Amino acid sequence: MKKIAPGGIVGILGGGQLGRMMSMAAARMGMDVVIYAPEADSCASRVSADTIVGAYDDETKLTEFASRCDVITFEFENIPASTLDFIENIGTSVFPKSNALGCSQDRLKEKEFLNSIGIAPAPFARIDGAEDIMPALQKLGGKGVLKSRTDGYDGKGQARLDGASDPVEAWKTIGQVPAVLEAFISFEREISVLVARGQDGKVQIYDTPENDHSGGILKSSTLPANISEQARAAAKKLGHKLADSLDYVGVVALELFVMPDGSLLANEFAPRVHNTGHWTEEACLIGQFEQHMRAVCGWPLAPAERFVDIRMDNLLGDSDISTWEGLSSDGAAPRVYAKRGGGEGRKLGHSNTILS
């Protein structure tokens, strides 16, 4: 186990809002953070000790980054898994390891892996060309969601299909790339489970938020979820199994569909802190960002107990983020990511409201 004491230097690959919030959490632990990102003025850079600007395959810059850091983590799912291996080979530890990242980056591999460890994903079929789509759709019950195997997030690279859909159009929509077709799931609600696992294998599991999406993008997470104690316990068990099976270090999020009979199907997992865990900063002693940093730095994990009922709302685009002042006077806690440039639907902040 490698323990990084206060005063240590933690590297974060990626410069987005998750890196920004991880960096602020690391600062509370007495760490300095160096960001590695392709862009010079990222929102994570602006709250961190230093930034190295470089591409994720620039070996010279990555070597400089690795040599400056005591330990490295990442905040962005589309960093090549080979980048993590390159850094590890130089001799700087990276948590979580590349096995988790590599698996989550390919929806087909991810689903096969989940199946292999006894976590049922939505029924799916491999799609290598437009001609595979209609036969698979029939087998999956006539309604489905076509998703690119790689590079998809927040509903991007996806097309909804039914018997009347044109498979060639759908194939074009997702960019004519290898894909999976998932059965369309008539779920009752969506939840997620956030598991923190330390280098010693000990876990802390946060309560399961209920998540509302619109157009594939998360709108809000509410605690407690309106689910049975049985479903809550089952979700936590699946999250624990996932983290153990990956020998994971850090925070991992497992997104689940809750079916009308209370059973659970996995949607996907993310090997990083997660949008559906933003509420933890106000509702728990130690939120997901600091908990992740504790795991990465070899510190003992904090209890994940939730003290209050709470709702997290995403602030999407300029219209939502412009409400920060009203949210503040209403007693909510707006968190503004200070991204350069707005854009419709872009995640620009979030707001936590304590319900009781």
List residues near ligand AMP by CB under 6 A. 122, 145, 147, 154-155, 182, 184-185, 190, 213, 216, 255, 267-268
Smaller CB separation from ligand AMP, 62 or 122 = 122
Question: Minimum Å distance from CB 12 to ligand AMP?
Answer: 23
Smaller CB separation from ligand AMP, 69 or 185 = 185
Contact 10, 69 (CB under 8 A): yes
Question: Minimum Å distance from CB 122 to ligand AMP?
Answer: 5
Contact 49, 33 (CB under 8 A): yes
160 membership: H or E segment, kind and range: strand 158-161
Angle of the 59-68 helix axis to the 81-90 helix axis, nearest 10: 60
Smaller CB separation from ligand AMP, 147 or 339 = 147
Smaller CB separation from ligand AMP, 68 or 160 = 160
DSSP for residue 274: -
Compute the distance between CA of residue 255 and CA of residue 117 in angstroms, rounded to an integer. Answer: 16
Question: Minimum Å distance from CB 110 to ligand AMP?
Answer: 10
Smaller CB separation from ligand AMP, 147 or 149 = 147
With CA atoms as reference, report the closest residue to 61 among 81, 34, 41.
34
Question: Minimum Å distance from CB 39 to ligand AMP?
Answer: 24
Question: Minimum Å distance from CB 266 to ligand AMP?
Answer: 11
Smaller CB separation from ligand AMP, 145 or 264 = 145
Query: Judging by DSSP bridges, how do beta strands 144-148 and 158-161 pair with one another?
Result: antiparallel
Question: Minimum Å distance from CB 58 to ligand AMP?
Answer: 29
Contact 253, 153 (CB under 8 A): no
Smaller CB separation from ligand AMP, 8 or 209 = 209
Question: Minimum Å distance from CB 322 to ligand AMP?
Answer: 26
Question: Minimum Å distance from CB 121 to ligand AMP?
Answer: 9
* Residue 128, SS3 per DSSP: coil
With CA atoms as reference, report the closest residue to 57 among 71, 43, 78, 75.
78
DSSP code per residue over 245-259: HTT--EEEEEEEEEP
Question: Minimum Å distance from CB 149 to ligand AMP?
Answer: 12
Smaller CB separation from ligand AMP, 92 or 222 = 222
Smaller CB separation from ligand AMP, 86 or 113 = 113
- Which residue matches tokens 């994903």? 121
Q: Give the chain's radius of gyration (CA, Å).
A: 20
Contact 267, 121 (CB under 8 A): yes
Task: Please name the residue ranges forming H helices in the chain.
Answer: 17-28, 59-68, 81-90, 98-104, 107-116, 133-139, 167-173, 229-245, 280-283, 288-296, 317-321, 324-329
